[in-house]
Amino acid sequence: MKTTFTVVTVALVCLAALPVSAEVGPYDVALVADEDGSLGDMQTLGMPNVYLQKVACAFYAKYPDHFDAIFVFTTYPLNFITNVQQGWPVKNLTQGIGRPPVNSAPQFCSYDSRLRQAVKMGDLKVLPDDPDATYTGIPWYALSGIELMAHEFGHQWLAAVTFTKEDGVKHCLIRGYEPSGEAQPGECDGYQESDFNQHWSYYYNSKSVMYGSFIEDLGGGQFEVSYNDPKFSQMDQYLMGLRLPEDVEPQFLVDMEDETGSSSLPIQPGKTATIEGTRLDFTVEDVIRSEGDRIPALDECHWKGALIIVHPLGQVPTIAERQKVADYGKRFEEFYDWATDGRGSFDMSIDGSGTGSPGCSGTISPQPDKEFPDRPDMAQPETIPEPVPFAEDAGPATDVPPTGDQAVPETSTPGDVMEAGGDGGSLCVANTLLCHPFQNVVVRCNADGNGWDTEEDCGSDALCDGGMCRPRHDGTGSGSCVASGRASTPGALALFLLVILSLRTRRWS
C-alpha cells in the first residue's frame, strides 16, 4: 500500500509539473471604453502607433504590466481607411534582424517596460467568426483570420533582412520590391535597399505567414508557385530567436527579370501558378554575413498575451463578441505552437495562468493585490445588454496601407527625430506640422517626406495642439503617457488621406 501511494504521489508531482494551457474564455478579454471619443476617431485610427499607444495606456490603468503583447479588437464599425491590421514593435533590442533597436514601452504606459508588441486587429465583425476561415476584408486575400493575427505579431522581428554571398554581393530580393517613387539604382540587387518592404518576396520560397510563396523547382528555369498552410518558417524562427543557425535548411528564391511583382500578396490557397526565372540559393550564414549574428542567439519562447476590445462608451460588448475574441486567443495559442514547430508558446489568459507547451514552458504570472475588474464571478447570470448600434456600417475594409510598420524609435529628448516607416517609403507630406505622439513638441515633415524633425519644444507653459504650441489654461505641466493627447490637425489629416488614397494598391502591415 505504501509503494502504491509513493508511485501515485510521484505521478501527480510529474503531472503537475507539465506545461498547461489555461482555458481562454470571454472574461479573459479586457474591455477598454472610449472615454473621450478619440479611439473611434479617424484621425487617431489613421496613425496605428498613436491608436495602440492610447489603448495600451487605458489598459494598463486597470491591469498589471505582465504582458509581452497586446491584441486590440474593436466593436467600432471601421471603414476602408481605418480598418487596416497593423503589427507595431513596441520594444525590440535584438541585433542581427535588419531592424534598429527600439524601446517605446514607457510611452505605451508599460511601466516595467515589458510590453514588446502591439497588434491592431481592427473591426471585430469584419474578422471571420471561425479564426481558420479566410479573411475577406482584403479582396482575394490568402490568409485566414488566425494567420493574419500571426502575421501582424510576426512583425516584431520580420521581415527586414538582406543576405550577402561569399562573392560580397548584397541581395535584397528576399523581400518585396516596392519603390515609393521613381526607381533609383543602388547596391542591393541594383536597387536601393530602402525600396524593399518588410514582407517576404512573392518569388521567395518562404513558406511563411509573412507572405512569399511555396515554390517547387520544375527544372529548366520553371517554377510552380502555391501557398497552402503557411507558418513561421525555419528562417522566421531563426530571426525570432527560436532556432539556431545550424537548424535552418538552405533557402532559395527565383530571380526574375522584372521584380515589380515581388511585393504581390500570396496566391490564394488551392491555386498554382508557373513562373520562369533564375534560381538563387542562399543560406542563413549569408544572412548573418549581411546583418551580423543574432544577439541574443535565442530569445524567450513563452509569451503572455492580452486580448482587448475597444468599444464606444456605454456600449459594452456582448458575451458573444467577447467569446469571438476569446476564440481567437485560444486558437492563437494552438496555432502558434504548431506554426513554430513546438518551439514557442503563448498564454492568452488575462491572469497569466498558462504555463506553455511541452516544447516551450513558461511560468504563471504573479497575481496583483486587487482583483481583475473585467473578470466577474462566472456563476453570476449574464446581465450585459446588447450594444446600441454606434453608426451605419461603412462596409467591408479594403487593402489600404498604413504609414509603415516600423515602430517610432524611443525619443527621450526634444532634438530627436521621428524616423520613417519600415518600408522606407514616403511617411509624410513635406513641411506638414504635427504634434509628436508622445512628447510635447511640434514636429515638421522633412523635405524628403521620409521623417520628422523637431520644430518647436512647447515646454511646460504650453501644450502642443493642432500642430502648434498653445498656452495652457489649466496651469499643469507637460505630463507623460496621456491617452487623450492630440496627434495631428484636420488639414494634415486631409493630406494624409490623399496619400493613403493614392497608394491603395500597396500594403505594409
**pLDDT digit string (tens) for 353-379?**
999 999 999 999 987 665 544 433 323
Residue-wise pLDDT tens digits, 322-347: 999 999 999 999 999 999 999 999 99
User: How many angstroms separate the CA atoms of 98 and 82, rounded?
Assistant: 28
pLDDT band at 248 (very low <50, low <70, confident <90, very high): very high
Question: pLDDT value at position 385?
Answer: 29
Question: pLDDT value at position 174?
Answer: 97
48-75 mean pLDDT:
96
Instruction: Select the more confidently predicted residue: 137 or 434.
Output: 137
Listed as own residue / partner, the contacts of 463-466 with beta carbons closer than 8 Å and 24 or more positions apart are: 464/435, 464/436, 464/440, 465/435, 466/435
- Beta carbons of 150 and 339 less than 8 angstroms apart: yes
pTM: 0.72
Residue 335's nearest CA partner among 114, 199, 126, 148 is 148
Residue 292 pLDDT greater than 80, yes or no: yes
Question: pLDDT value at position 270?
Answer: 95
Taken in order 130, 131, 132, 138, the sign of the CA dihedral is positive
Question: pLDDT value at position 506?
Answer: 36
Using DSSP's 3-state secondary structure scheme, residue 352 falls into coil
89-106 mean pLDDT:
95
Using DSSP's 3-state secondary structure scheme, residue 147 falls into helix
Among 245-259, 293-307, 408-422, the range scoring the smallest mean pLDDT is 408-422
Question: pLDDT value at position 416?
Answer: 26
Question: pLDDT value at position 456?
Answer: 86
User: How many angstroms separate the CA atoms of 263 and 400, rounded?
Assistant: 14
Question: pLDDT value at position 351?
Answer: 93
Among 120-129, 341-350, 450-459, the range scoring the smallest mean pLDDT is 450-459
Question: pLDDT value at position 443?
Answer: 77
Q: What angle do CA 203, 205, 211 make, to 5 degrees?
A: 70
Residue 62 pLDDT greater than 60, yes or no: yes
Question: pLDDT value at position 124?
Answer: 96
Question: pLDDT value at position 257?
Answer: 84
* Mean pLDDT score of the chain: 79
User: How many angstroms separate the CA atoms of 237 and 234, rounded?
Assistant: 5
Percent of the chain whose pLDDT exceeds 70: 73
Extract the C-alpha cell encoding 348. 492568452
User: How many angstroms separate the CA atoms of 46 and 477, rounded?
Assistant: 28
In 270-390, which ranges are continuous DSSP H helix? Answer: 284-291, 319-339
Question: pLDDT value at position 433?
Answer: 75
Question: pLDDT value at position 413?
Answer: 26
- What are the sequence ranges of the domains in the chain? 2-155+297-361, 163-291, 418-502
Question: pLDDT value at position 371?
Answer: 55
pLDDT band at 136 (very low <50, low <70, confident <90, very high): very high
Among 258-262, 310-314, 429-433, the range of highest mean pLDDT: 310-314
Among 206-210, 338-342, 397-401, 459-463, the range scoring the smallest mean pLDDT is 397-401
Measured in degrees and rounded to the nearest 5, phi and psi for residue 280 equal -125, 110
154-168 mean pLDDT:
96
